Chains A and B, each alone.
Chain A
Amino acid sequence: MVSAKSSSKKEARVIVVTSGKGGVGKTTTTANIGTGLARMGHKVVLIDTDIGLRNLDILMGLENRIVYNIVDVVEERCKLTQALVKDKRLPNLSLLPAAQTRDKSALSVEQMKKLIAQLKTEADFVLVDSPAGIEQGFQNAIAAATEAIVVCTPEMSAVRDADRIIGLLEAKEEITNYKLVLNRVRPSMIKTNDMMDIDDVLEILSIKLLGVIPEDKDIIVSTNKGEPVVNMDESLAGQAYRNIARRVAGEDVPYLNLDAPLTFMEKVMGLFSRSKSA
């Protein structure tokens, strides 16, 4: 296990993953970047703020271990440590699940700030999975964040919603850094001019790119298995998320060539990075 680079004194980076539009892959991105960072040895806490429509637990395969949730914590029915669900494989990764039987109004911005302040001292990264929309749930999610990852797909509707979200993020002083993850990209469709080009999206949104995730059937398999795709060494999407996690951690990683399947070297590198973190 590579030891975490940050010292215990350093506070966690709080990153919100958001998109505006639903179904573009916020939760998948949160689960995979979080797991990717944890595989690198960082201490990571994932927070699901999608109260009433929680999904992050299913993607992580932790749904059967949830006893308490975020609402129980803010309503003081349990302690924060009791609600954190530890990952099946990575001991330095844990999930604070949303409540399924409540709604967004069960949480306030102040409560969220207080909660994350508690977590900040104990983790290296706090990843907040935001719900779709720009209402209370979104306000809660960005409450204590200092960085943001905007998830978008190469579709006009998703781009417009992402633009609105970026506007809201820019208006919030505390958020100093926000980047784009372009999800569900199909290089073959871009070639035939049936899909928006990556550069087009970046130009419209005038935002820096964090990474591009190809459309990959492994994602569906991983959701149903409850195992983030970042753990699948052969998967192209998994490789893309591993790269993004390294970029989030501050490494300079070249963008993945989406046209070609994984080269032999990339597979070897995938195995290598796995053995490092295992």
Chain B
Amino acid sequence: MNTVSKNTVSNAVSSSISTTHSESEQAAVCTVQIGLGAAPNSAQALKLLELALEGLPTPTSGSVKIELETGNLLITPNVLTKIQLLVEKAGAELSVIYASLPQTQQAALDSGLFVKEKPPETKIAAQKAGGLSQKSHGTQPIQLFNERRGSVDELLGRSLSSLGQNSGINKDSLVSLPGEKPTEQAIERERDSQKTAEALSENTSQVIQSDVTSHQNDVQTVPTLYLKQNIRSGRVVRAEGHIFIIGDVHEGSEIVAGGDITVWGELRGIAHAGCQGEYHAEIRALRIEAIQLRIAEYIARRPDRVHYHKDVKDADPSRLGEVARVSDGEIQVFQEVTN
């Protein structure tokens, strides 16, 4: 399971890079995807879009199509008109809107746009790395592509950090924690995007490539931390690679891993897998009762207590354990059962 998911990541990343390599093949249409899902409100989204459009390539031939990813952001018909005006001014054409809110979808449909619920899976990776990702059919040189990605990352980071002051900001469609700790993701993303921006500042595809591969190697080559003990409240277990614990993880403790977390016992504390941004990381335990689960920048929290009760989960003999992974843009817990 683990190796499979790792492969998907490297494939996703390398494919997004390799498309930029094929710039020699001239294509008539250049499609650019812009993610606005991270913007807290439509005003910020417009600002972000404006900045993204500034860095838009001017193709020697053919037209530029914009694919807009709005996530959970509410786009009113009014705002959509403004967006269309902006896009037109930049000499491009709005083709597809990826929106998860029905209101936004309706607004887009009303103005005759093509609407989809979610962008294809592989694009999320690129989009997470930066606010803007390009699905180029090969008109742009690599330099420009990287430069732009870096700059938008910086802008995104800056705009989010300036927004960090007011507490209600988050609108990240990829976060399953519903609104309570919005700014957490903002700061994480800020950190991540700054990191990416740094990595991209040298403007060579090799930099990204090596960065990606070295990270992959990190998790793969760093030895797995193996602990045979109970982890009690107040303890923090931190490792760059995977963590394997034989014993229970009690409430009030924290397990932070660069890779996966596997607990042969009950998981009740906070578990953060893929803390360096590896969102394919998984958290497994015989039983997951964790107060919070975090994978990369995703957070899920346990439901609120209604009354004190002893957990009465039956010992179902066919149950092997539980595994939490990022699926459909949020952390989901699956029960593993024997067939």
Contact = CB atoms under 8 A, between A and B. Distances in A.
Interface in A179-228: 221, 224-226
A85 interface: yes
A167 interface: no
Contacts of A79: 164-165, 183, 187
A225 B165 contact: no
Interface in A54-80: 61, 63-68, 78-79
Interface string B292-309: 100000010111111110
B172 to A, nearest CB: 14
27 contacts: A61-B305, A63-B251, A63-B291, A64-B291, A64-B301, A65-B180, A66-B292, A67-B184, A67-B292, A68-B181, A79-B164, A79-B183, A79-B187, A81-B166, A82-B167, A82-B181, A84-B167, A88-B304, A100-B233, A101-B234, A101-B252, A101-B254, A221-B308, A224-B305, A225-B306, A225-B307, A226-B305
Contact of B234 (A52, A63, A78, A88): A52
A86 interface: yes
Contacts of B299: 67
A100 B234 CA distance: 5
A109 to B, nearest CB: 23
A63 B250 CA distance: 14
B235 A82 contact: no
B236 interface: yes
A76 to B, nearest CB: 11
A61 B307 CA distance: 10
5 residue pairs, one from A and one from B, having the closest CB atoms: A224-B308, A82-B183, A64-B301, A67-B184, A67-B181
B191 to A, nearest CB: 10
B254 A78 contact: no
Contacts of B165: 79, 81
B243 to A, nearest CB: 16
B234 A82 contact: no
A225 B164 contact: no
Looking at chain A's contact residues, the main secondary structure is loop
Contacts of A85: 180-181
B153 to A, nearest CB: 20
Interface of A: 52, 61, 63-68, 78-79, 81-82, 84-86, 88, 100-101, 221, 224-226
A84 B301 CA distance: 16
Contacts of B254: 101
Q: How large is the interface on B (under 10, 10 to 19, 20 to 34, 35 or more residues)?
A: 20 to 34
Contacts of A82: 164, 167, 181, 183-184, 187
Q: Which of A64, A79, A88 has the most CB of B within 10 A?
A: A64
B143 to A, nearest CB: 35
A63 B292 CA distance: 9
A84 B166 CA distance: 12
Contacts of A101: 234-236, 252-254
Given A82-B187, A84-B167, A221-B308, 12 more contacts: A66-B292, A67-B184, A78-B187, A79-B183, A81-B165, A81-B183, A82-B184, A100-B252, A101-B253, A101-B254, A224-B305, A226-B304
A37 B233 CA distance: 31
A225 B308 contact: yes
A65 B235 contact: no
A65 B305 contact: no
Contacts of A65: 180-181, 301
Q: Which of B166, B187, B299, B302 has the most CB of A within 10 A?
A: B187
Contacts of B292: 64, 66-67
Nearest to A52: B234
Contacts of A81: 164-167, 183
Nearest to B270: A66
Contacts of A64: 291-292, 301-304
A38 to B, nearest CB: 17
A68 B5 CA distance: 30
B234 A68 contact: no
Nearest to B185: A67
Contacts of A52: 234
A156 B222 CA distance: 57
Q: Which of A88, A101, A221 has the most CB of B within 10 A?
A: A101
